[in-house]
Amino acid sequence: MNALLNRILPPPGPPLDTETRAKLLATIHRVSPTAIVASVVLPALTAIAFWSAADHSALVGWCGVMLVLTAATCWFYFGYLRDCATMSRSAHTRKWWANMRAMAFLTGLTWGSSALLHLYTGSTVFSSVLYLLALGVLAGGVTAQSPVPSNLVYAGIPILVPNILLAEYAFPGHGTYVQLLLVVYAIMLTRHALNLQRTLVRAIQLESDSRRLAKQFQEEKERALHASEEKSRFLAAASHDLRQPVHALVMLVEALRARNKSSSLHPLVEQVAAGTQTIDLLFRSLLDLSKLEGRKVLPTLEPCELSHLISEVMSQFAADARESGLTLTPRVPEELYAMAEPVLLRRALFNLVQNALRYTRRGGVLVTARERRKHIRVEVWDTGAGITPEHLPDIFSPYYQVHNPQRDPSQGLGLGLAIFKECVRLMRGTYGVRSVPGRGSVFWFSLAPVAAETVATIRAVRANALAEDAKPDHLRGTVLVVDDDTQIRKAWIALMEAWGIQVACAAHGADADRLFLQGLKPDIIFCDLRLPGSENGLDLLERWQNTQPQARSALLSGDLKSDALAAAEEAGYFVLPKPVDPAALRLLLRRWLRPA
């Protein structure tokens, strides 16, 4: 018999935790009002309908027993609600879990007592109605008590046993058949109740898991946002100090180039200058990329000249290519523009060229750019190992490396192509790859072209810049530089003197005021935005506009973003970012100073 029941009934589930029990108990509690109404209405209607078919005392006694059930159910319902507000969840669940089973047993006894009415009636119709009531209560109990199937044992046995024992009294000659039907019915209801309970428990647990995962996701999201904000605050605070040595190095190298008269030292000086420009470029890219990472909107695209940018990127890999015996060839029209974000475009191209050189052992790398119909297409060709077709769909995924299955960090982290993909996406472009195993690969990306009228404007601006460059280099005038960094002040002095410009330096506002009292009348004032103590470059320039009306003013700033920088830009002050680009500085001096 046990083996048969085990085959019919589902296996028992795992023990339930307190939270799940509390929710199952709440589910049962919600049907209590229906049970209260049923325990009053059904016995009353039955007694009225069959008043003449059974002993009156027995009917009245049964209705009295059902009123006891009604009172107990009301006690359960209102007591459960009362304790919800005063007891802890675990204590409340422990108390009413036991009371719930007592209520289930009382429900079984009271409804099971209806079977005694078979002894006080000779009506087969009345007996049939009583059996229908018992079966209906059992079926309703399956739905109401399915959250806790053990309740069906406490309620079902007191209902089934009297009805099985008295089946022969109710239906003479057919008792065995009715008894068999009741047993089969009970087994099917039990199986149905267990299935309902498992479904409900799974739903509760899935809901709990979903809430836990949602809470964990929210916590991780807040932690990531906090880390990003901390990084941004660190970069904003440290960028000024990080830029200072690079700023001084750029200006000192430019001063060295201007002062050098030796033909033998000229190549070395130019190499130092090129290396310094590369450091400056990488530093700017790092800080600009950090700013772009914090953007919540797509970056603003602008016309970018591809020939110069591609040459810049390829110059960074020229030495590595020569050492590896590889050729590095650009094939780009002299004047070709695309709508892009300079930092993202440089990073995308840098990653493609770096990736091509890493996996090329002989031959070389070719970079091409050309206009095709409605877009500008940039391609990087290599003669490397190539990529098999099954790997092509995954190569742009983070940390995916075809030729590094052992995850050797010396061969890179597998982020280059993923970053390339993100850069192209931010520039609203498309990308792709073609590859032949053993022969090489072609990685490409396409960007929007620049309108013809915009290109014409760029050409006019470039012609004006060339005209400015044709003017004499030596200028006449006096420049005041206010900066608290000693190395920066020395670099300014070296560069300005190399360009034939008189220069005075001050560490803070009080030093500058002292120079003014001594008779200094500068033509230009360059003032650092961030100064020691409570001084602010913007406040100083606004004050000096009254005392030095002849001087033009410009702010120097190494901040990524700050309230003072935003206020300076809003006030219309010219802001030179650190490290200062010597070419941009020379162009500004030519506009603001007189030729010598």
Residue 508: give its domain's CATH number.
3.40.50.2300
| Per-residue model confidence (pLDDT) at position 470 | 56
Tell me, yes or no, whether 482 and 571 share the same domain.
yes
> In this structure, is residue 417 part of a structural domain?
yes
Tell me, yes or no, whether 427 and 525 share the same domain.
no
| CA proximity to 483, closest of 426, 558, 562 | 558
Residue 446 confidence (pLDDT) above 90: yes
pLDDT interval class at 349 (50, 70, 90): very high
Tell me, yes or no, whether 18 and 155 share the same domain.
yes
Last residue of a domain, one of 193, 217, 241: 217
* 504-514 pLDDT, tens digit each: 999 989 999 99
Residue 301 confidence (pLDDT) above 70: yes
Residue 100 near residue 76 (C-beta atoms within 8 A): yes
Tell me, yes or no, whether 77 and 180 share the same domain.
yes
| Per-residue model confidence (pLDDT) at position 531 | 83
> In this structure, is residue 365 part of a structural domain?
yes
Q: Which neighbouring-strand residues pair with 432?
A: 444
Tell me, yes or no, whether 433 and 553 share the same domain.
no
Tell which wins on pLDDT, 128 or 195.
128
Is residue 423 exposed (0-12), middle (13-18) or buried (19+ Cβ within 10 Å)? buried
| Per-residue model confidence (pLDDT) at position 280 | 67
Tell me, yes or no, whether 409 and 501 share the same domain.
no
Tell me, yes or no, whether 436 and 381 share the same domain.
yes
* 208-250 pLDDT, tens digit each: 778 788 888 888 878 877 776 676 666 655 555 666 777 778 7
Residue 89 near residue 18 (C-beta atoms within 8 A): yes
The count of domains in the chain is 3
Residue 414 confidence (pLDDT) above 60: no
Tell me, yes or no, whether 351 and 463 share the same domain.
no
* 123-180 pLDDT, tens digit each: 888 888 888 888 888 777 766 665 666 677 777 888 888 888 888 888 888 888 888 8
Tell which wins on pLDDT, 221 or 362.
362
pTM of the model: 0.44
Measured CA distances, 48 to 17, 45, 170, 279, 427 (Å): 47, 5, 20, 100, 83
* 455-476 pLDDT, tens digit each: 888 888 777 766 655 555 567 8
Last residue of a domain, one of 217, 241, 260: 217
User: How many CA atoms lie within 13 Å of 358's alpha carbon, on the beta-carbon side?
Assistant: 17
Tokens of 518: 């001594």
Across 454-496, the runs of DSSP E, i.e. the strands, are: 475-476, 478-482
Last residue of a domain, one of 192, 217, 242: 217
Domain that holds residue 327: 295-447
| Per-residue model confidence (pLDDT) at position 312 | 86
> In this structure, is residue 534 part of a structural domain?
yes
Tell me, yes or no, whether 355 and 434 share the same domain.
yes
> In this structure, is residue 185 part of a structural domain?
yes
| Per-residue model confidence (pLDDT) at position 249 | 80
Q: How far apart are CA 411 and CA 392, in angstroms?
A: 19
Backbone angles phi, psi at 229, to 5 degrees: -65, -40
Tell me, yes or no, whether 418 and 461 share the same domain.
no
Please name the residues in contact with 467: beta carbons below 8 A apart, sequence gap of 6 or more.
Answer: none
Tell which wins on pLDDT, 355 or 10.
355
Three-state DSSP string of 132-168: HHHHHHHHHHHHHHCCCCHHHHHHHHHHHHHHHHCHH
pLDDT interval class at 517 (50, 70, 90): very high
Backbone angles phi, psi at 576, to 5 degrees: -100, 120
Highest mean pLDDT among 59-73, 85-99, 566-580: 59-73
Q: How far apart are CA 156 and CA 97, in angstroms?
A: 18
> In this structure, is residue 136 part of a structural domain?
yes
Tell me, yes or no, whether 341 and 467 share the same domain.
no
> In this structure, is residue 175 part of a structural domain?
yes
Tell me, yes or no, whether 464 and 374 share the same domain.
no
> In this structure, is residue 443 part of a structural domain?
yes
